Amino acid sequence: MNSKIDEKLRQIRIEDFIWVIYIGIIALSYYSNYLERKYFIFNDCCSKNKYRNIMILIFSVLILVYFYFLYDSYSSLKDINCYDSKKKKRLLYLSFLASLLIFISGIIFLYIAINDTDLNVELAFN
């Protein structure tokens, strides 16, 4: 096989692994909602601390995932050549910008998860 196909297949395998990570994040998020609910109903401080730690874990993992997509998008942007269409170039720039903004949002959400000790801010990932 040629190297472009090999590279694309490698990327798809990595993305398959990322889907497994997302499934784990969804399960953790479901459990963290249970803990958050328990904290607000029963004022259970142990549930509050577990909830915060899980949210910090979730957003730490998401930042790594978002960084992978940012790096992948940047690599695609670097590979642009003068023969590529304007449409392809524009879409690659937009993809990089979107990946950058998502990465930045992950950092902001992690910062909130670490610093919001009173659980005043609702955190959600997309």
**pLDDT tens string 40-76:** 999 999 999 999 999 999 999 999 999 999 999 999 9
Cα dihedral across residues 35, 36, 37, 38: positive or negative: positive
- pTM attached to this predicted model: 0.89
| Count of helices and strands (H, E) across the chain | 3, 0
What does the pLDDT look like over 26-35, one tens digit per residue? 999 999 999 9
In the predicted model, what is the mean pLDDT of residues 15-27?
97
Calpha distance 1→11 (Å, rounded): 15
Instruction: Tell me: pLDDT of 17 over 60.
Output: yes
47 and 39 in contact (C-beta within 8 Å)?
Answer: yes
**Lowest-pLDDT range, 21-25, 60-64, 79-83, 100-104?**
79-83
Share of the chain above pLDDT 70, in %: 97
In the predicted model, what is the mean pLDDT of residues 4-28?
95
